[in-house]
Amino acid sequence: MTTVPEATTQAPARPRRTRRLTPSFLARHLLRLAVSLAVLLVASFAMIHLIPGDPLRQMLGPTAPKGLVDLRRRELGLDEPLLTQFIHYGQHVCSGDLGTSFFSSQPVSDIIGQGLPHTLALAVLATLVALAVAVPLGIWAAVRTHQGRRRGTETAFATFTGAAVAIPEYLYGLTLLLVFALGLGLLPPAGLTGPASYVLPVAALSIAPAAMIARLARVETLRELDTDYLRLARAKRLPPWRLYAVHLLPNTLTATLTMGGLLLGGLITGSVLVENVFAWPGLGQRTVEAITQKDYPVAQAMILVYGALVLVINFLVDLLLGVLDPKSALSAATRQEG
C-alpha cells in the first residue's frame, strides 16, 4: 500500500514574501515627508491669513478705539509684512513654540495637549472597530458570493455598504444622538463622563470606514479564493476556520491594513464635526472656535497638527506596505535607479 508523504497532507501555504526595505525607498519617503511638512507649514500660515476680517476687531470689539487696536497689533507683530510674520512663525514652530491664544492667552501647546489625546482616542477606537467589523464581513460576503453565487447577497452587500459610505459622519452622529441618547436614554448624549460616552461618537465615526473596508476586503478575498493554494486547501477538506483564518486571512490583510492606516488619518481630521455633535473634549470644538474667531495661533497650530498627523500616518503606512509587500519598495527603487 502506498503512503502519502507527510508534506502533502496539509495545504501548502502561500509563499511568504521577503521583508525588505531598501535604503533608497526609505530615503525617498523621508524626503517626501520633509517636503510635505514644509508645504504644510506654508499652507497653515497662508490659509488663516486669507480668511477675511480683522482678528483684532473681533477680539477687542467693533467699538474699540483705533489707537488700542493699533497698539495691540504692534504687540502681536501683525503690523509686520507677511513674509516677516511667516519667518517668525516658522522659527517658533521649529523651536516648539506654537504661540499663545489671542483670546484666552493660554499657550497653544497646552490647548493641544489637553484635546489631542481625546481626539486620537476616538480615531484609534473607530479604526479598530471598523477593522474588526469590516474584515470578517468582507470575507463572509466574498465566500457567499464566490463565482457568481447568491446574487441577492451580493446586491444587498453592495447596496448597503455603498449607502453607508455615502452618508457623512456627522449625520450618523446626529441620528445616533437622537435615537439612543435623547430618544431611548440608553447612552450619554454629550461630553466625556465614562466609558459609555465613547460608544456613540465611535460608532458615528466607524460606520462609513467599516463599509469601505468591507468592500475592499471582499474584493481581496475574491482574488485569493481563485488561487491554487486555496483550491488545494478546499480539496483537502480542511475545517472552515483553518481554511479562512490560517490560510486566507493573512494574505488579504495587506491592502486592508493599508486602507485602515489611511482611514485613521482621515478619521483624525474628520472627527471635528462629530466632536461638535457630541460636545467631545477633543480638538474639534476648539478648532471651529479658533477659525471663526480668527485666533491665528490656535487655528494655525490646529491645521499644522492635523496635517502633520495625517502625513506621518501615511508615511508609516508606506513603510508597512514596504514590509508586507516589498514588491512596491523594490519596484520603486528600481525605477529610481533606472
Cell numbers describing residue 7 = 508534506
Q: What is the pLDDT of residues 162-187, one digit of tens each?
A: 888 888 888 888 999 999 988 888 88
User: Domain boundaries in the chain?
Assistant: 41-97, 109-337
Q: How far apart are CA 46 and CA 55, in angstroms?
A: 15
CA contacts within 13 A on the Cβ side of 310: 17
75 burial (CB, 10 Å; 0-12 / 13-18 / 19+) is: exposed
Quick one: pLDDT at residue 158?
Answer: 85
DSSP state of 62: T
Indicate the pTM of the whole model: 0.70
From the centroid of its chain, how far is CA 33? 17
Cell numbers describing residue 313 = 500616518
Q: How far apart are CA 255 and CA 243, in angstroms?
A: 20
Amino acid (one-letter) located at 92: H
Cell numbers describing residue 197 = 460616552
Q: At what angle do helices 296-324 and 283-293 cross, to 10 degrees?
A: 130
3-state secondary structure (DSSP) of residue 52: coil
Q: What is the pLDDT of residues 6-55, one digit of tens each?
A: 444 444 444 444 445 677 778 888 888 889 888 888 888 887 777 666 66
> Residue 146, Cβ neighbours under 10 Å: how many?
14
Query: Domain 109-337 classified CATH 1.10.3720.10?
Result: yes
Ramachandran category for residue 300: left, alpha or beta (phi over 0 → left; psi -120 to 50 → alpha): alpha
3-state secondary structure (DSSP) of residue 165: helix
Quick one: pLDDT at residue 2?
Answer: 42
Quick one: pLDDT at residue 20?
Answer: 55
Quick one: pLDDT at residue 230?
Answer: 66
Residues 6+ apart with CB under 8 A from 118: 192, 280, 281, 282, 283
3-state secondary structure (DSSP) of residue 107: strand
Quick one: pLDDT at residue 54?
Answer: 67
Quick one: pLDDT at residue 243?
Answer: 66
3-state secondary structure (DSSP) of residue 153: helix
Place of cell 453607508: 164
The answer to whether the CB of 309 falls within 8 A of the CB of 5 is no
Ranges of the chain whose pLDDT falls below 50: 1-19, 326-338
